[in-house]
Amino acid sequence: MKQEAAWSMLKWCGYSDEDINSRVKQVWYEIFEGPNAVYHENEDGLGYIVDTGNDDVRTEGMSYAMMLAVQYDRKDIFDKIWGWVMRFMYMNEGHHRHYFAWSVAPNGIPNAQGPAPDGEEFFATSLFLASRRWGDGDGIYQYSAMAREILRYCVHKGESERGSDFAGEPMWNPDNKLIKFIPETEWSDPSYHVPHFYDLFAEEADPADRAFWKEAAEASRKYLLAACNTDTGMSPEYANYDGTPHISDRGHWYFFSDAYRTAANIGLDSLWVGKDIGLGNRVSALQRFFLTHDRTSVYEVDGTPVEETVLHPVGFIAATAQGSLAAIHSDAGDAVDNARKWVDLLWNTPMRIGARRYYDNFLYAFAMLALSGNYRQRW
């Protein structure tokens, strides 16, 4: 089914179709083709993404690249990346078998023996969207079947009645339906919560699990309301199941790199599913706070400054601007005006160069796709 581009906030803010299309094309070039590209191919023609700040290949970046490839209609790149993932990241044995090693060296040697659940949820979503756009192929390129398999293990690992193949821990808590930071922990990462993806899973996953995913979508929206501070809109990187910051020797209880994505996810949820005034209010509060506070400083979620400097200033601007898609549905009187300011701020911010460009430029890419109406579920 052909679908025209969704509503474009960039066009609504006064930017021309020509300029928008040019910027969207530039995003692909910078990440995949230009002199600052983070995409590479090995001697077998398989593709991988290097986290330039850490010199490794992560399920985060690989799944992000697959999402961009399907949105840009680049099946060739999508298949090369997915082929690399299945060859070097998929775990066939051990405690975490059927999950993906979250960090692997560019030569394919694993750095980690465990997964990060945001990779699995982006892999599954990208595969379902690939099936919708291009249809299913054979083997690992039978996209929808592979996505269903990923989700089957994410939900059912640890269920002894399913046999030893399902040994381990699930990625979602079976009782509260919230995604975990990693399978072994009983806390979450608010930026992992993508309820609009779970609504998609409720349509495409194994029929027996579709009710679970519908519940997970609603649970995540409620969780995001709890995790995002009412006054500042900020969420912590790690949070307990009640939304409060998870304080431990791991750190990460303040608003830092991972947490920037929370506003972006709320924005895409608004674009794909529909407005939620409560979540719009949270993003509006975030935008208001950072229009009047130092954007290079790190803060606790209540707005208390931390003696640390942000690592990803471009990614922060991009993700907060993407949140404008939700902020315009806030009932705050200054919300629409502030949302426009953030869109303009992003438009006038160039993509990042240098060692930390990987994360920033992926968030930039997602924001440009969403704000231009080109981040789609169907074609």
Q: DSSP readout, 227-286?
A: HS-TTT----SSB-TTSSB--STT---SB-GGGGHHHHHHHHHHHHT---HHHHHHHHHH
* The domain boundary residue, chosen from 140, 171, 202: 171
Please indicate, yes or no, whether residues 32 and 47 belong to a single structural domain of this protein.
no
Structural domain harbouring 103: 38-171
Task: Please report whether residue 178 resides in a domain.
Answer: no
Radius of gyration over every alpha carbon of the chain, rounded to an integer in angstroms: 19
pLDDT recorded at residue 6: 78
Please indicate, yes or no, whether residues 33 and 92 belong to a single structural domain of this protein.
no
Please indicate, yes or no, whether residues 22 and 50 belong to a single structural domain of this protein.
no
Please indicate, yes or no, whether residues 234 and 252 belong to a single structural domain of this protein.
yes
Please indicate, yes or no, whether residues 33 and 69 belong to a single structural domain of this protein.
no
Whether residue 17 lies in the annotated active site: no
pLDDT recorded at residue 175: 98
* The domain boundary residue, chosen from 154, 171, 188: 171
Please indicate, yes or no, whether residues 233 and 272 belong to a single structural domain of this protein.
yes
How many H helices and E strands in the chain?
A: 14, 6
Cα gap 61→38, rounded to integer Å: 10
Of 353, 257, 369, 358, nearest to 321 by C-alpha is 369
Of 171, 160, 303, 151, nearest to 233 by C-alpha is 303
Task: Please report whether residue 119 resides in a domain.
Answer: yes
Q: Tokens for 18?
A: 């020509």
- Can you list the positions of beta strands (E) in the chain? 39-41, 47-49, 57-58, 103-104, 297-299, 305-309
CA 8 to chain centre: 20
Whether residue 258 lies in the annotated active site: yes
What total number of domains does the chain contain? 2
Please indicate, yes or no, whether residues 14 and 101 belong to a single structural domain of this protein.
no
Q: Which residues pair with 41 in a beta bridge?
A: 47
Task: Please report whether residue 281 resides in a domain.
Answer: yes
Please indicate, yes or no, whether residues 17 and 59 belong to a single structural domain of this protein.
no
Check if the beta carbon of residue 203 is closer than 8 Å to that of residue 257: no
Of 118, 353, 71, nearest to 259 by C-alpha is 118
What's the pTM value of the predicted model, to 2 decimals?
A: 0.98
pLDDT recorded at residue 28: 98
Q: What are phi and psi of 47, to 5 degrees?
A: -105, 145
Catalytic residue among 258, 269, 276, 360: 258
Please indicate, yes or no, whether residues 375 and 234 belong to a single structural domain of this protein.
yes
CATH of the domain at 18: 1.50.10.10
Burial call 158-193: b when 16+ CB within 10 Å, e when fewer: eeeeeeeebbbbbbbbeeebbbbbbbeeebbbbbbb
Burial call 64-87: b when 16+ CB within 10 Å, e when fewer: bbbbbbbbbebeebbbbbbbbbee
Check if the beta carbon of residue 105 is closer than 8 Å to that of residue 57: yes
Strand-strand pairing, 297-299 and 47-49? unpaired
CA 31 to chain centre: 16
Please indicate, yes or no, whether residues 340 and 280 belong to a single structural domain of this protein.
yes
Catalytic residue among 60, 269, 276, 360: 60
Q: Tens digit of pLDDT per residue, the chain (379 long)?
A: 344 457 999 999 999 999 999 999 999 999 999 999 999 999 999 999 999 999 999 999 999 999 999 999 999 999 999 999 999 999 999 999 999 999 999 999 999 999 999 999 999 999 999 999 999 999 999 999 999 999 999 999 999 999 999 999 999 999 999 999 999 999 999 999 999 999 999 999 999 999 999 999 999 999 999 999 999 999 999 999 999 999 998 889 999 999 999 999 999 999 999 999 999 999 999 999 999 999 999 999 999 999 999 999 999 999 999 999 999 999 999 999 999 999 999 999 999 999 999 999 999 999 999 999 999 999 9
pLDDT recorded at residue 249: 87
Check if the beta carbon of residue 180 is closer than 8 Å to that of residue 172: yes
Check if the beta carbon of residue 123 is closer than 8 Å to that of residue 150: yes
Check if the beta carbon of residue 117 is closer than 8 Å to that of residue 198: no
Question: How many Cα atoms occupy the beta-carbon half-sphere of 297 within 13 Å?
Answer: 14
Of 333, 327, 319, nearest to 283 by C-alpha is 327
pLDDT recorded at residue 5: 56
Please indicate, yes or no, whether residues 1 and 80 belong to a single structural domain of this protein.
no
